[in-house]
């Protein structure tokens, strides 16, 4: 699916909030982006949560190669 950055980050945000996790492989395929772009988008989400929703964070789970939406410490 061809998307711009805003659409991609919003889709990732929606999936994180609804499902509680984001599968990296699923997003790479669905948005046809590369790993570096994915990391940049994750960074954007982390900055957003740090600034506007500091009780939440996005953390990487190595076992499942996915990112989890969690309450921050």
- Domain of 40, CATH number, reads 1.10.10
The parent domain of residue 53 ranges over 5-71
Q: What pLDDT digit, counting tens, does each position of 60-69 carry?
A: 999 998 999 9
- Indicate left, alpha or beta for 32 from its phi (over 0: left) and psi (-120 to 50: alpha): left
3-class secondary-structure state, position 27 = helix
pLDDT averaged over every residue in the chain:
94
Distance, in Å, from the CA atom of 53 to the CA atom of 30, rounded to the nearest integer, reads 27
Number of domains in the chain: 1
Q: What pLDDT digit, counting tens, does each position of 19-33 carry?
A: 999 999 999 999 999
Residue 35 has pLDDT above 90, yes or no: yes
Q: Radius of gyration (Cα) for the chain, nearest Å?
A: 12
What pTM, to 2 d.p., does this model score?
Answer: 0.90
């Amino acid at each position: 699916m061809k998307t711009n950055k805003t659409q991609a980050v919003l889709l990732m945000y929606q999936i994180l909030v609804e499902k509680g996790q984001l599968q990296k492989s699923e997003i790479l395929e669905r948005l046809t982006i590369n790993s570096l772009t994915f990391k940049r988008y994750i960074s954007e989400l982390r900055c957003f949560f740090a600034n506007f929703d500091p009780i939440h964070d996005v953390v990487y789970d190595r076992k499942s190669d996915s990112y989890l939406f969690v309450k921050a410490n």
